């Protein structure tokens, strides 16, 4: 495992004991975990084989399994995986949880209709092209790699005062320009004031994502950008800025 990934794994494991995700009752009552926008791109769920990587406590995999998917959830932090397994047991559903590095997945994790990464997962991939190329080989022909993420424009901008936006990182170079924006730290870090630990995340811009799809021989089937004004709280014109995106690409049939 690369040093960066090991360090990032330790960073997440230190937080994992404090992260529970949504409640089992919420999942049982059909509460939304994967949004309609994501589901529109994922396509049919029932009976399909689904892999969620950087899955945290596996809420998306659990939610999709409740909708009929055969789901596997992989995360590098063992405590996240334990929490997910306990939730699956409580729900009485069969979701396979694995501790693993998404940049070095087990060879037998293959033949998926959907591979999905979401909401703060992609930034832990150090080499996007290599990672997408590997995911492409794990899809069935016609299967989709779906990325639902914070928009890279949001990643590099910080609201630093009323109606004041500051560039905190480069859209192109993944270098921090200004101080780290605490608003973008994981919720538990903010809530519990956990001690800072070394870690390294990457900003992948939309050109990087689309280029990686194309170089892997995938066919781009969706790229939807959305505004989420509360993600730029304090900035009046937040509705004019992208906050999230969903991108998807398909392995061509016959490949
Ligand atoms: C912000 S959380 C993702 C949240 C999740 N997608 C959700 O919506 O609940 C980031 C996750 O990435 C995991 N992670 C970081 N590096 C990883 C790696 N190399 N392989 C697998 N998981 C990784 C962390 O343990 C953490 O659970």
H or E element that contains 213: helix 206-215
User: Considering the entire predicted model, what is its pTM?
Assistant: 0.96
Q: What percent of the chain has pLDDT over 90?
A: 83
Closest CA to 26 of 83, 91, 120, 84: 91
103 CA closest ligand 1 atom index: 19
Q: What is the pLDDT of residue 131?
A: 98
pLDDT of residue 170 exceeding 80, the answer is yes
CATH topology of domain 3-250: Rossmann fold (3.40.50)
Q: Which atom of ligand 1 is nearest to the CA of 101?
A: 20
Domain ranges of the chain: 3-250
Closest ligand 1 atom to Cα of 120: 1
The alpha carbon of 171 and the centre of ligand 1 are apart by a number of angstroms equal to 22
Render pLDDT for 205-250 as a digit per residue (tens, 0 to 9).
999 999 999 999 999 999 999 999 999 999 999 999 999 999 999 9
pLDDT in tens, 94-141: 999 999 999 999 999 999 999 999 999 999 999 999 999 999 999 999
Comparing C-alpha atoms, which of 63, 54, 57, 55 is closest to residue 36?
Answer: 63
Nearest ligand 1 atom to the CA of 13 is 25
Task: Give the whole-number percent of the chain exceeding pLDDT 70.
Answer: 98
Give, in order, the Cα–Cα distances in Å from 129 to each of 15, 175, 184, 243: 28, 19, 25, 23
Q: Which residue is associated with the tokens 């060879």?
A: 107
Q: How far is the CA of 80 from the centre of ligand 1 (A)?
A: 9
Ligand 1: distance of its center to the CA of 37 in Å?
Answer: 21
Q: What's the CA gap between 239 and 229, in Å, rounded?
A: 5
| Spacing of C-alpha 189 from chain mean position | 18
Report the pLDDT value the prediction gives residue 174, as an integer from 0 to 100: 67
Q: Which of 19, 75, 130, 188 to mutate to test the pocket of ligand 1 (most atoms within 8 A of CB)?
A: 75
**Which residues lie with the beta carbon below 6 Å from any ligand 1 atom?**
5, 8, 12, 53-54, 56, 59-60, 74-77, 80, 101-103, 118-121, 124, 186
Residue 9's nearest CA partner among 205, 1, 253 is: 1
Q: What angle do CA 108, 210, 245 make, to 5 degrees?
A: 95
Cα of 105 to ligand 1 centre, how many Å?
14
Mean pLDDT, residues 25-35? 97
């Amino acid at each position: 495992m690369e040093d960066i990934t090991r360090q990032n794994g330790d960073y997440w494991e230190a937080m994992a004991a404090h992260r529970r995700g949504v409640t089992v009752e919420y999942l049982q009552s059909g509460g939304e975990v994967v949004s309609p926008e994501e589901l529109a791109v994922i396509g049919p769920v029932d009976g399909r084989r689904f892999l969620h990587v950087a899955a945290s406590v596996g809420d998306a995999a659990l939610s999709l399994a409740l909708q009929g998917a055969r789901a596997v959830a992989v995360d590098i932090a063992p405590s996240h995986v334990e929490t997910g397994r306990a939730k699956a047991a409580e729900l009485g559903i069969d979701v396979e949880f694995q501790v693993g590095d998404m940049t070095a997945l087990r060879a037998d994790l293959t033949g998926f209709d959907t591979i999905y990464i979401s909401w703060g997962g992609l930034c832990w991939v150090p080499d996007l092209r290599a990672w997408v190329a590997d995911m492409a080989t794990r899809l069935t022909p016609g299967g989709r790699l779906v990325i639902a993420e914070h928009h890279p424009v949001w990643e590099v901008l910080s609201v630093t005062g009323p109606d004041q936006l500051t560039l905190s990182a480069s859209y192109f170079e993944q270098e921090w320009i200004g101080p780290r924006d605490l608003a973008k730290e994981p919720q538990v870090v903010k809530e519990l004031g956990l001690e800072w630990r070394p870690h390294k995340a990457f900003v992948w811009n939309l050109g990087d994502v689309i280029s990686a799809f194309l170089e892997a021989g995938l066919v781009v089937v969706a790229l939807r950008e959305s505004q989420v004004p509360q993600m730029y709280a304090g900035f009046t014109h937040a509705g004019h800025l992208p906050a999230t995106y969903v991108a998807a690409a398909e392995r061509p049939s016959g490949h």
